[in-house]
Amino acid sequence: MRVTFARHVVGVLSLTLVIASTGGAASTWHVKADAAAGGDGSQNRPFATLQEVEARSQPGDTIRVVPSGKPLDGGIQLKDGQRLMGLGNPVTKSAGGARPTITNTSGARYDGDAIRLANNNLVQNIHIDGAARAGVFGVNAARAQVRGNLITNNMIQANNLPRLEALWPKGFVLYESQGNHFGGITLLSCGPAASSYCVNHAPGRPGVPSIGQLVIADNVIRDSNLEGIMLLSDGGGAVTYTVTNNEIRDISLQLPRPEALTPALPIVRSRAFTLIALNGSNATLNLSGFRADNLAPQGNYAADGIVLLTGGTRPVVNARLSDLVVLNSRQTGEVNNGDSIEIQHRGATDGVLNVDIRRADLRDPASANIKVLEASNPTNGSYDISVSDSVLSNANPAGMPDAQIRFSGASGGTKAFKLAVRNTKISGIGGAIGVLNPNNLDTLNVLVENSSFSDLTQPSGAKPTPAINVTHPADRKLGVAVIDVGGGALGSKGRNRFVDNPQVDLSITNGSTATAIRVDAANNYWGGGAPVMAPAASPDVSLSGNVTLSPLKSGHLTSDPGR
């Protein structure tokens, strides 16, 4: 019996060795920038270069980056199932000293990307510093996780603009308003249909119908040029993004003004977070614990905090944004393109943008705090947007003061625009809510309840803007239209407060003779008395054109509900 048992153990050990030698068992490798040459990847004799560990490691292996005084240069392409993990203290919290650092200072290898993803990868606790293009880049990187990394000096290259421009002649130009889609973290999701982005950036990567959930958590991206986090889906694929507790700050602040270059250039993007869904893609976003600040260099930069954009045919975005802080501490930015949150159909057909914003602190944009925008004549798009438990304010005198939540349509047609604002405070420069619609619109719903609109001011010499302002032109069609700020068909409880605003609190103008806009405005605080109606002096409410004001069934509030 003892002999038989011993033979069995020897057989098992032999089988284990065979599995390990054929790559069946995962290995752990170490790499350190200042290690001695000739290492074997062990903890005591780490590899000295990324090229060595990339060549030796197999799918499913773990690669540990040992802290060092200098970075590992040249970038790395991960294999399926690999984990790339930095040793030592958390890089996002450590004050300095040796860190597990990776860079890629040349465009000759992986186009300057520091870390390229495959499937089922984890990238954690890596300091990516000075990469010539993306810090982390992936195409159809199914179930990837990017956690707790620090990305700095991305696409800086000493601001040598000719060098930056020359690195990627086929698809990347530093100063181009729409051609650059790279950031500290850049993930492309490509479905089975044709995709120009995937052909350009990963021609050998086949499209897939779904890449599952991608996780981007606890990262800090700062002191870099252009985008912070860039997510793009194309070709009809489905993807879910979970983006939690990330911080983006000090973006593009060292770049010169585009308009001061020779030749002068138009608006250039400088955005903290961008999600783009194109051509049948279905993107689900859960973004929480997000903080962005100092995104606007001097000059014509589209310095936006969060951008959600669709294009092509039948793209869908379902987004939930919660616990957000988007600031503009220096109060700079280009007047038409500096938004805390921008939600846009751009040339899309049958696009869908469903966006739920909760507990947002949005301050001092160059343009709007929440801008809903149509560009390049989209058709038949729909928006369902809710804002709750949030604070919006603006002390930036350089911006566009017409509304802090603003919808501006293009010249095409919109299927539906639905906006609900609850338990939200809006104050400062500009109006609060503006639906400035120059196009055909099938459904218009605006619900406001339990919200405060106070101390809304204008820059010196600017025309006063109503707190809530809805306009529809005479030469455009209008379907069902309801503005419910209390006691109306959409179910608003009212209890809104309009306090210390020098302009009209509620202004509705409808040029359509075929369809009336229904307005419900009961149970609100207008300073203690009943709302003063235009054309009386200093009115609270102004109605013009084909507008129906429902009876104020429950009257008005005589005491300030406060917020």
Q: Give the model's pLDDT for residue 166.
A: 62
Exposure of 147 in the CB half-sphere (CA atoms within 13 A): 12
Cis upstream peptide for 258 (omega within 30°)? no
Mean pLDDT of 536-563: 89
Is the per-residue pLDDT at 553 higher than 70? no
- In sequence order, the 6+-apart residues with CB closer than 8 A to the CB of 160 are none
Mean pLDDT of 22-42: 90
Give the span between the Cα atoms of 535 and 468, in whole angstroms.
Answer: 17
What confidence tier does 368 reach under pLDDT thresholds 50, 70, 90?
Answer: very high
Contact 42, 30 (CB under 8 A): yes
User: Among the ranges 48-62, 173-187, 337-351, 405-419, which has the highest mean pLDDT value?
Assistant: 48-62
- Strands (DSSP E) found in 148-300: 150-152, 183-190, 210-217, 220-224, 227-234, 238-244, 247-251, 268-269, 273-278, 282-293
What confidence tier does 392 reach under pLDDT thresholds 50, 70, 90?
Answer: very high
For residue 506 the two structure tokens come to 């509620």
What confidence tier does 100 reach under pLDDT thresholds 50, 70, 90?
Answer: very high
Q: Quote the percentage of the chain above a pLDDT of 90.
A: 70
Mean pLDDT of 162-191: 65
Mean pLDDT of 441-460: 93
Contact 286, 320 (CB under 8 A): yes
Contact 28, 57 (CB under 8 A): no
Cis upstream peptide for 535 (omega within 30°)? yes
What mean pLDDT is reported for the chain? 88
- Strands (DSSP E) found in 97-226: 101-102, 115-116, 122-124, 127-129, 136-139, 145-147, 150-152, 183-190, 210-217, 220-224
155 pairs with which residues across the strands? none
Return the amino acid letter for 364.
D
Exposure of 226 in the CB half-sphere (CA atoms within 13 A): 30
pLDDT in tens, 476-510: 999 999 999 999 999 999 999 999 998 899 999 99
- Strands (DSSP E) found in 301-351: 301-302, 306-311, 316-326, 341-346
Give the span between the Cα atoms of 562 and 451, in whole angstroms.
Answer: 9
Mean pLDDT of 417-432: 96
8-state DSSP, 339: -
Give the span between the Cα atoms of 135 and 425, in whole angstroms.
Answer: 37
φ, ψ of residue 518 in degrees (nearest 5) = -85, 130
Q: Give the model's pLDDT for residue 167.
A: 59
Q: What is the DSSP string of 221-232?
A: EEEESSEEEEEE
